[in-house]
Amino acid sequence: MTGYIEDITFLNEKAIKFGNETLEAILVPVLGSNLLSFKFKQNDIELLRTPKTLEDYREVPILYGMPILFPPNRIEGGQFTYKQITYKFPINEIEKSNHIHGLLYDKPWQVIKREVNGEKIVITTEFLSSDFPFLKRYFPHDFTINMTFSLNDNALDVQLEIINNGQEPFPWGVGYHTIFNFPFVPSSKLMDCRISLPVNKQWELNDRSLPTGKIQATPNTMEIQNGFSIEGRQFDDIFGYDEDLENECVLTDQEAGLQVCYHGDDHFKFWVLFNQKGFVCPEPYTWVTNAPNLDLSAELTGLRELGPGERVRLKTKLSLKQI
């Protein structure tokens, strides 16, 4: 069976359904270029938390699909200064006086490429900051971000490209707030499911969910690396790694007979783990929460700079394995 791309309506918006013999996904460009459905077709298993209605999505858009975070997680007081430029983001976590989740996850993106080559499907969406002049009050730079989704066999590769179109360098950090249904099927018990993370460090957080700057060894490191149950445990924690580990989060549901591997390239040095009833959110980040405000080296925080005319490409992959 060759791959396919279809134009559909999803949540009353124009969307793209694409798939092959194994997998099917729904991408909604106008809703933050969000992959709002990712399905294992053989057993009709929906892997991502998918909204039933547009109203559900609008209520908490960050809790569905795979929202892009630019910048990721929280900014203390909504602002930081970098090379004499002060960046002021809206305070949207009122109770903690933080900015959270960045500027792009709910903005419309444009489709600039779509092609089927046998079983391989490639779709690219683009965000131009110049189309949204009001963003300059928060992030005073001209930039382009492209997302390329490549579906082939049992895997979805996602490449993110950030381009600095301006005359000044800018600091950047990015992540994904990927929300998996977990367990994958209703008949499974959470206590029998496992998640592993490639981490060995944990960042201490204060009461505003911001890093204090203190980093400690991860409790039960081998358990986290080999797989553990989140039954009865609540996470909203930041982890990192500083050893030669395969940068891959693995989610296993034995009852469903399915394992999902979530791989990040070397740019993604941090993982946030967040969960609530019915879902888990392993979040790969290039910088740690509130990185520009931490009095620590860029090597520790992941803070990076993109010069004028420069571009950077980041890669993640979701692959499925039957067990």
Q: What is the mean pLDDT of residues 57-77?
A: 97
What digits encode the pLDDT tens for the residues 25-62? 999 999 999 999 999 998 999 999 999 999 999 999 99
Distance CA 184, CA 42 (A): 13
Which residue among 99, 141, 177, 267 is the active-site one? 177
Distance CA 239, CA 131 (A): 35
277: Cβ–Cβ under 8 A, 6 or more apart, which residues? Answer: none
**Strand 175-176 and strand 120-128: pairing?**
unpaired
Using 50, 70 and 90 to split pLDDT, how confident is the model at 188? Answer: very high
Residue found under tokens 């189309």: 131
Please check the confidence at residue 158 and state whether its pLDDT lies above 90.
yes
Taking phi over 0 as left and psi of -120 to 50 as alpha, with beta for the rest, 286 belongs to: alpha
Query: pTM for the full model?
Result: 0.96
Residue found under tokens 């993640």: 316
Please check whether residue 197 is in contact with residue 166, taking contact to mean a CB–CB distance below 8 angstroms: no
Residue 46 is predicted with a pLDDT of: 98
Which residue among 24, 76, 126, 283 is the active-site one? 283
Tokens of 174: 């990015």
Q: Is 267 a catalytic residue?
A: no
3-state secondary structure the chain: CCCEEEEEEECCEEEEEEECCCEEEEEECCCCCEEEEEEECCCCEECECCCCCHHHHHHCHHHCCCCEECCCCEEECCEEEECCEEEECCCCEHHHCEEECCCCCCCCCEEEEEEEECCEEEEEEEEEHHHCHHHHHCCCCCEEEEEEEEEECCEEEEEEEEEECCCCCEEECCEECCCEECCCCCCCCHHHEEEECCCCEEEEECCCCCEEEEEEECCCHHHHHHCECCCCCCCEEEEECCCCCCCEEEEEECCCCEEEEEEECCCCCEEEEEEECCEEEEEEECCCCCHHHCCCCHHHHCCEEECCCCEEEEEEEEEEEEC
Residue 1 is predicted with a pLDDT of: 66
Q: Is 263 a catalytic residue?
A: no
Using 50, 70 and 90 to split pLDDT, how confident is the model at 304? Answer: very high
Q: What is the mean pLDDT of residues 248-263?
A: 97
Distance CA 166, CA 193 (A): 47
